Amino acid sequence: MTRIDAKFSDLRAQGKKAFVAYIMAGDPGYETSLEILKGLPGAGVDVIELGLPFTDPMADGPTIQAAGQRALDGGMTLQRTLDLARAFRETDDTTPIVLMGYYNPIYSRGVDTFLADAKDAGIDGLIVVDLPPEEDAELCLPAQAAGLNFIRLATPTTDDARLPRVLQNTSGFVYYVSITGITGSAEAQATDVGPEVARIKAATDLPVIVGFGINSPEKSRNIASVSDGAVVGSAIVSKIADGNSVSDVLAFVKSLSDGAHSA
């Protein structure tokens, strides 16, 4: 059982919905990013999504693209991202970390080397946006053999014919993308999301967590009420980009987590 599996088991036992927070590794700098990362569990975050900076983030809108560029300009690399996770693990051995990004940096490092290093650094799961199920032998299956969850994205265009393929080797949870388009480009609507989550849950026992287009405590609560939890990324990254203090960023995260947990 991974930390992700254990966390969702614990949440189910408590009758609680999950709150998942995304930050970009190394944004706005390594030390500040580490301070925010270490503060997320205390702000009510159940699962951390740690963005891996990449030059061509095709699924991400301007906010997260800019965060990745700031991190890269500050010298952030895959190795330093793993160092960040390892530093977090010095004081927290229970909060799951999902590394979210694109395949190119992993491919460049070498799959076997990357998986060993990620596991050693305390990474629990992967979301690799540009690897479809047809490429499961490339990374998904080796990751699961190494003890890492491989979390797949389902979207509004994932129809009933496609869904079984998407779910086939998914583990940890299913990430439902609430909108068609890039991160931060539109607002999620519970009335649209609810039926889609129900459709996915009819086909899997995995938790279904909803992300994209969630930017307020009210939205976090509404989306969590029709799913197993909510993910917020761009709204948090925007607070960081605006130069808010770490304490102010974490206070905002706490308001979002309170929203999800009240569902």
Token representation of residue 135: 């490429």
**60 catalytic per annotation:** yes
Ordered by where they begin, the domains of the chain are 3-261 (3.20.20.70)
Q: What pLDDT score was predicted for residue 213?
A: 87
- Tell me the average pLDDT across 175-197: 80
Confidence of residue 181 (pLDDT cuts 50, 70, 90): low
Q: What pLDDT score was predicted for residue 61?
A: 85
- 28: cis peptide before it, omega within 30°? yes
Confidence of residue 174 (pLDDT cuts 50, 70, 90): very high
Confidence of residue 59 (pLDDT cuts 50, 70, 90): confident
Query: Catalytic pick from 5, 27, 46, 60?
Result: 60
The answer to whether the beta carbons of residues 95 and 48 sit under 8 Å apart is yes
Q: What pLDDT score was predicted for residue 111?
A: 98
Check pLDDT > 70 for residue 66: yes
Tracing tokens 């330093």 back to the chain, one arrives at 80
Q: Which of 177, 172, 160 is nearest to 205 (CA)?
A: 172
Q: What pLDDT score was predicted for residue 93?
A: 97
What's the mean per-residue pLDDT of the chain? 95
Check pLDDT > 80 for residue 242: yes
Tracing tokens 């909803």 back to the chain, one arrives at 210
- Tell me the average pLDDT across 228-252: 97
Q: What pLDDT score was predicted for residue 71?
A: 97
Measured distance CA(75)–CA(125) in Å, rounded = 24
Mapping DSSP to helix (H, G, I), strand (E, B) and coil, where does residue 40 land? coil
- Count Cβ atoms within 10 A of the Cβ of residue 109 and give its class: 0-12 exposed, 13-18 middle, 19 or more buried: middle
Tracing tokens 């010095």 back to the chain, one arrives at 90
**49 catalytic per annotation:** yes
Q: Nearest-5° angle of CA 30, CA 220, CA 197?
A: 110
Mapping DSSP to helix (H, G, I), strand (E, B) and coil, where does residue 34 land? helix
Q: What pLDDT score was predicted for residue 191?
A: 85
